[in-house]
Amino acid sequence: MAKRLLREAQTSRIETVLELSAAFQALAHATRDHHALVRAAVGRLGKNV
Measured torsion, CA atoms of residues 40, 42, 43, 47, in degrees rounded to the nearest 10: 140
pTM value is: 0.66
- Hey, what long-range contacts does 28-32 have (CB within 8 A, 24 or more apart)? 28/1
pLDDT digits (tens, 9 = 90+) for 24-44: 999 999 999 999 999 999 998
Confidence (pLDDT) at 38 = 93
Give 33's Cβ-side CA count (13 Å radius): 2
Angle at 43 between CA 37 and CA 44, to 5 degrees: 95
Cβ(1)–Cβ(27) below 8 Å = yes
